[in-house]
Structure 1
Amino acid sequence: MATNEFYVPDLCRVRAVFLLLVTSELLVLVLAIVQAEQGWIDWNYFGLLSLFVQWTTLTSAALICLLRARLARMSVSAATAIIVAIVLLDVLAFSLFADSVLHPEAGVAVWQGVAKKLLLALLIVLMVLRYFYLQHQWQQQREAEMQAHLASLQARIQPHFLFNSMNTIASLIAINPDRAEEAVLDLSELFRASLRTGDQLIPLSRELALCQRYLAIEGLRLGERLKLDWQIEGGLDQQAIPPLTLQPLVENAIYHGIQPRPEGGTVRIEAQARGDFVYLLVQNPKPEQNSHQHDGNRMALANIKSRLQALFGEPAVLKHSHQNNVYTVTLRLPRQKADERKTPRPTSQRKANRDQP
């Protein structure tokens, strides 16, 4: 299995080691309280046992960290047995060293103390590994449920978009059949891209190409009423984004900000990187107060929020605001790259191919 599928967390990370140290120190505190014959705690016992446990924990974590790639390729039982052996050998070595320094004349009693430490270490490491295993199983189940949830949300968006696009084409058939045919070609290429549901995350360049195809269809219907302002910062082509995330926001901008206005307006699409995040903005003229709410787009926004929470968690944010008669939807994504194997054809190439038989 891959290292990210191994049930033992990566002990090379500071946070994981810190949690181990804190947990082991709490256990030492409990043992020191139980050991105390007078007062609440035996401080001498607490100090010596803390030193022993911390050194054992750190060295065992370091060894498991170095061997993690190999352990991940083994079966769960084999990896567990090796981890237990590492910890017990570590405890044995430190026990013999500590007892030889503190109790050089103890004799047989030394081995009795070592045996007790080994038994206690065995019980503790088995409980910790059991916790790691159950936590890993829970995480895998959660990811499987998230996959199913994302697939369901994706399936809801596609019929919604198809319904609106077909309405656009239907409105063009009577007044301009040639443009209606062109819109059908745009729609076919649009769905060739949007129906690729194998990836949870796609490059921003592919999502922007999807928006361009959609805007080409709407541009045929709205004509000069629809103006576009693209402000896309360079170097963001491979930014990871869930598919069909930006397109519903652009659709909202047209249906609420452009379509109700006889004079039309400008839709501004902006992408820029700031620190560890990438910000996507979709702006349009402020919708009229009496404009009816588009149920499909409201559902799309709810789906976008759900998908962002499922994929990115709290770092991803979707919010909207009104200022100076401008309605703005802001999308914040953690900055990360998506794997891209196929690059969409540019618009100029698509139009050239239409003229070919």
Structure 2
Amino acid sequence: MDTFFIPDLCRVRAVFLLVITSELLVLVLAIVQADTGWVDWNYFGLLSLFVQWTTLTSAALICLLRGWLARLSVARATVIVVAIVLADVLAFSLFAEEVLHPAPGTAVQSIARKLLVALLIVLMTLRYFYLQHQWRLQREAEIGARLTALHARIQPHFLFNSMNTIASLIATRPEQAEEAVLDLSELFRANLRTTDPLVPLAQELDLCRRYLAIEALRLGDRLRVEWVIADGLEQQAIPPLTLQPLVENAIYHGIQPRPGGGTIRIEVSPGGEFVYLMVQNSKVETDTRHRRGNRVALANIEARVRALFGETAVLKHSQQQDTYTVTIRLPRRPLSRPPGAKTRDTE
């Protein structure tokens, strides 16, 4: 995560927001300045030209110096940014006064007003950036705590069930028991890996397969799984423990309570600039406690994908007749596989 409180002004989105915000400020001032009509268009045009030039050049300078500024303390970086903006405003003010040939004695007062207004605006803007940065840090900390809580939630009941299943297989089917132990170790290794905010989709799917392999030993023919995975999405970035908790909920709420079991459908497909992940299962158990746990898990996953991908990431869930569906939409973002990463071929 970016640790500097000033956003990257080299990005088109940031520059666009600066231009629009400054233009709106100029429009407000032009409305206030108008003696007749709604807007003083001459004033708007001149001030807009001045503000946009100073905004863009200041943003360019801060962009170029951002790496160096990020190594300074907040106070020092703030002072330097203020100095850059004021120096820029002063340079353009002197140029404007020279071109417009103001009346004698008014140049100093006009430049002083511009510097004062620029100082107030840049201080308010930096304060806003700082508060936004602190909010993002707090949100990241909350997301980390939620992920840690998710790790703790997954382990207890699943571990007990898995160990009982493995113990029952040791005498009769030792090969399957050994395979289950390996799957279980990989599953808990993934649960303990909390440093990676994003992992390749192939790794998350492999985790789901291992989890389902263990549950299949316990549920037998009651658990049926359909995989519909589009090609070319193996390196799509996804937060760890996104699909696996959905699959776990599908078994806990939709398969385990039904005497005849049911089918879980896991589908991954591209759609324009997005990737769609779907987990579908038989109708969710109607017990209130179960529904509450399911909502908490969904809220946890939604908060994490929103924190990492922004507002373009969407989680939706719906229930139609006897089928419950959870769909996650993520922006397409390839993630290079870390060196030595392995996935299990279960096709």
Q: What's the TM-score, normalizing by structure 2?
A: 0.79
CA apart distance, 1:155 = 1.9
2:333 aligned residue:
336
CA apart distance, 1:174 = 9.9
CA apart distance, 1:9 = 2.0
Of stretches 177-186 and 158-167 in structure 1, the one that deviates more from structure 2 is: 177-186
Query: Aligned AA for 1:276?
Result: E
Among 149, 152, 166, the alignment partner of 2:149 is 152
**Contact in 1 for aligned 2:315/2:326 (Cα 8 Å):** no
* Partner SS for 2:320: strand
* Partner SS for 1:209: helix
CA apart distance, 1:317 = 0.9
CA apart distance, 1:205 = 1.8
Over residues 142-194 of structure 1, what are the superposed CA-to-partner deviations in whole Å (9 max), with x where a residue is unaligned?
Answer: 32233223322332222243244345446x36984747843445433432333
CA apart distance, 1:319 = 1.3
1:84-99 correspondence runs (5 A): 84-99=82-97
Over residues 259-288 of structure 1, what are the superposed CA-to-partner deviations in whole Å (9 max), with x where a residue is unaligned?
Answer: 56666554432222212222223344x459
2:22 aligned residue:
24
CA apart distance, 1:103 = 1.6
Cα distance between partner residues in 2 of 1:339 and 1:28 = 45
* Partner SS for 2:9: coil
**Contact in 2 for aligned 1:209/1:344 (Cα 8 Å):** no
Question: 5+ residue gaps in structure 2?
Answer: none
1:202 aligned residue:
199
CA apart distance, 1:303 = 1.6
RMSD over aligned CA atoms reads 3.6
2:10 aligned residue:
12
* Partner SS for 2:215: helix
**Contact in 1 for aligned 2:226/2:265 (Cα 8 Å):** yes
1:215 aligned residue:
212
2:319 aligned residue:
321
- Aligned pair count reads 340
**Cα distance change on mapping 1:239 and 1:160 into 2, 3 Å:** farther
* Partner SS for 2:130: helix
**Contact in 2 for aligned 1:25/1:50 (Cα 8 Å):** yes
1:121 pairs with 2:121: no
Cα distance between partner residues in 1 of 2:146 and 2:261 = 37
Query: Aligned AA for 1:202?
Result: V
**Contact in 2 for aligned 1:36/1:42 (Cα 8 Å):** yes
Question: 5+ residue gaps in structure 1?
Answer: 349-357
**Contact in 2 for aligned 1:238/1:337 (Cα 8 Å):** yes
2:46 aligned residue:
48
1:1-357 correspondence runs (5 A): 4-29=2-27, 31-32=29-30, 43-103=41-101, 106-169=103-166, 172=168, 176=172, 178=174, 181-182=177-178, 183-255=180-252, 258-259=255-256, 266-284=263-281, 286-287=282-283, 293=287, 299-300=293-294, 302-312=296-306, 314=311, 315-322=313-320, 326-338=323-335, 340-341=337-338, 342-344=340-342, 346=344
Query: Aligned AA for 2:107?
Result: V
Larger radius of gyration: 1
Query: Aligned AA for 1:71?
Result: L
* Partner SS for 1:278: strand
Over residues 6-49 of structure 1, what are the superposed CA-to-partner deviations in whole Å (9 max), with x where a residue is unaligned?
Answer: 22222233443343334434444554566566777655444433
Cα distance between partner residues in 2 of 1:163 and 1:281 = 28
**Cα distance change on mapping 1:337 and 1:167 into 2, 3 Å:** farther
**Cα distance change on mapping 1:25 and 1:193 into 2, 3 Å:** closer
Over residues 102-133 of structure 1, what are the superposed CA-to-partner deviations in whole Å (9 max), with x where a residue is unaligned?
Answer: 226x4454334323323332333233223322
Of stretches 70-79 and 31-40 in structure 1, the one that deviates more from structure 2 is: 31-40
Over residues 76-101 of structure 1, what are the superposed CA-to-partner deviations in whole Å (9 max), with x where a residue is unaligned?
Answer: 34433332233223222222222222
**Contact in 1 for aligned 2:151/2:191 (Cα 8 Å):** no
Cα distance between partner residues in 2 of 1:174 and 1:137 = 53
Cα distance between partner residues in 1 of 2:193 and 2:240 = 9
Identity of aligned residues (%): 64
**Cα distance change on mapping 1:262 and 1:98 into 2, 3 Å:** closer
* Partner SS for 1:5: coil
Cα distance between partner residues in 1 of 2:302 and 2:335 = 15
1:353 aligned residue:
none
**Cα distance change on mapping 1:244 and 1:263 into 2, 3 Å:** same
Cα distance between partner residues in 1 of 2:110 and 2:288 = 74
Cα distance between partner residues in 1 of 2:286 and 2:101 = 84
**Cα distance change on mapping 1:222 and 1:45 into 2, 3 Å:** closer
